[in-house]
Structures are given as structure tokens and as C-alpha cells.
Amino acid sequence: MMPAEESSPASVVRPAAAVEVCGPRWRIAVVGAGIAGLTAARALHACGCDVRVFDKGRGVGGRTAVRRAPPFEFDHGAQYFTARDPRFAREVRAWQSAGVAAIWPGRIGSLERGTWRAGSPQVRHVGVPAMNAVAKHLAAGLQVTTETRITRLARTRRGWRLFADDASGVGPFDAVAAALPAPQAAELLAGRSALAEQAGRCVLMPCWAVMLGFEQALPVPYDGAFVRGSPLAWVARNSAKPGRSSEEAWILHAGPEWSAAHLDDPPDRVIDALRAALAQATGAELPDPVHAAAHRWRYALPSVPLQVGALWDAEARVAVCGDWCQGARIEGAFLSGLAAAERVLGTGGAVADLAGPPGAGP
């Protein structure tokens, strides 16, 4: 456990059927504004906590990211999500009602050296008008500070203090939730919580993403495919998703092994290699793109995802969550964020329903 300098005199949480925070409001810091972090923050806010969210990026969303290069648009991170768990299915229906998510009726299957096979019917959802719309919806009404990389935690008499790159500190906080990729969570918590060692054992594989824009539609009869026998793992016609620009935009995701082997390749070389892989996989003669870019996701997929919901250090009052804690999907990120909120509140059960309007709470 973390060697505490002195215990923080935080108020006690006594969850009831309505999940109430009793006494003075707990101050909670959430580090990371992806789906897991924002879900945890929304749940804690709805239960009466005073929550601050910090993220190093320019906006919220993590890997529910969008890149715009007019007239093209690319969801270059997470591609879509499914809803199996009843709690997540209820939340997705709320997102649809709010107009920030829609069903993607794309033609999805598998692809190998020019042969495409339709996949089993499955309901897939996407954010509208881009994947990060869901994250923006979750962030509404929360205190979110972007472009701030939290690099260090310190335990004081009054609670946790967080320090950024510029050495500025903020706090105190009664508890901290680290909604980060496992290696980053391990680095932040090193020497502060035993959770650092647990997070450090989780290996996350990289993913190179290439974005291609064309002046004409590619001559293929599908919108997305899981690719076999190729450096590619997934390709998708981003412009086929609801709410997107109609300009022909494709996303190519390399497989984890290829991405790891070419982790430090320059973007131009990655673009050339994956363009060639796309031509080979489709078996079609492809036009030259009028736009091409690459993005490296260093921490994309866990080699062996956990199924623990969230990690919790009760003595240190530190939670760790992320999609890698619960199955490596957007649904897993959402469920992990809920689990982190439950650990902080000590409910051992369900937190308040998040399907209300953004910013709803006490």
C-alpha cells in the first residue's frame, strides 16, 4: 500500500439506495478524459461529489478521436461500439435520444487477399457527427481542464495534490481516479499506490492508423472489414457512417504485431506500406489519394485485457480504470468508469443512472 504521510480527514461516504454522499462533499480528481474517465466523473458528480477532470489533450475523448482535413473527416481511433451490458445499452439509448449516437448500418465483414465475406448481423453504433460526440456529451456540465498533463501526485495532511508539467499544483482532493492507459497509470502512481505494480503488468500494444481521402469512391462493395493475412487488421469507409461528410474517406488500422515492429517508422513510410496492403487486401486497382496522414496510437489494445471493472486502493483512495480493465472496448471503458465510481463511493453495487441530461446532479 501507499506510504501515506498523513491520512486525509475526508468525509465518510455512506451509500444508500439513492446513492447519496453524506457530510461535506468529497473532492475527486479524475486524470484522463476518455470514455472511462468521463463516465466515472459523471457518476461521481451525479452522486454529489465535487469532481475535477484533467487531460493532456486539446479536447476530451481519448481514442474516440476525430481528425478533420476538409473536405475529409476521419474517426482515426475507436471505430464503433456495440452494447451488450444492460447498463451500457440504456446509456446508448440515451445518447441516441440526445442525437450524439446512431446505428451504423454499414456492410461489415472479413477480407483476405481480395475475397470479402459478409459478417454476422450485429448492431453497431457510432458517435454523431463524429466519435468524439459521445465524449463531449459526457463532459457537458463537468469541470474539465484540458492541455494539462498531470505528472505527479503528492499526499499531504489535507489530501492529494496533483502537479502538472509546469510544476503547478492543484488540490487537495479526497480521492483520485486515474483513467489512463496502463503504462501511464503505472508511471503516475509509482511509489504512491500498490496499484502501480498491477497496472505495470498489463501490456498494451500499439496501432498505426492511416487516413486516406479520395476524389472518387473506391471500387469495393463494403464499408468495413476485418483484414486477415495482412499488415492491416481493419479498414473502413469513414464517409459511410451516419452524419459524416460524403467525401470518400478511409481509415486503415494496422495489426498490433505490425505496428509494434514498425513503431518508430516515419509516417510517410507507414502510409506507403499500408496503402500497398490495402490494395493487396482489396484486390482492386485503387486511385491515388488526395489526402494521406498517419497517427500512431502507442497504447491501443491490451494483449490480455483484464475483467476486473476497476482497480481500487482503499487505503490510498486511488482508483484506476480504462478499457483495458474491462475487455478493451468502448463498452468496457464505460463499465470500467462506472466500476471506478462505485469503488470510490464504496457502494459495491450500482451508481446512479447516467442516462439523464448532461450535467444533471445535485
The per-residue DSSP string of 11-48 comes to PPP---TT-PPPSSPPEEEEE--SHHHHHHHHHHHHTT
Whole-angstrom distance, CA of residue 140 vs CA of residue 361:
12
β 72-74/67-69 pair status: antiparallel
Whole-angstrom distance, CA of residue 15 vs CA of residue 208:
43
Instruction: Please give the single-letter amino acid code of residue 77.
Output: G
Average pLDDT value for residue range 8-34: 56
Whole-angstrom distance, CA of residue 201 vs CA of residue 187:
12
Could you give all domains of the chain from N- to C-terminal order, each with its CATH number?
27-61+135-202+306-345 (3.50.50.60), 67-80+105-122+204-302 (3.90.660.10)
Q: What pLDDT does residue 166 have?
A: 78
Whole-angstrom distance, CA of residue 198 vs CA of residue 1:
12
Average pLDDT value for residue range 78-99: 97
What sign does the dihedral 9-15-19-20 (CA atoms) show?
Answer: negative
> Has residue 354 got a pLDDT over 90?
no
Return all residues near 45 (Cβ < 8 A) that are at least 6 apart. 51, 141, 142, 361
Where would I find the beta strands (DSSP E) of 91-248? 101-103, 108-112, 115-118, 125-127, 143-145, 150-156, 159-164, 169-173, 175-178, 204-213, 224-227, 232-237
What sign does the dihedral 78-81-85-87 (CA atoms) show?
Answer: positive
DSSP class of residue 301 equals E
* Contact between 189 and 179 (Cβ < 8 Å): no
pLDDT band, residue 151 (cuts 50/70/90): very high
pTM for this one?
A: 0.89
**Could you read off the pLDDT of 218-244 as tens digits, one per residue?**
999 999 999 999 999 999 999 999 999
350 versus 45: the higher-pLDDT residue is: 45
> Has residue 16 got a pLDDT over 50?
no
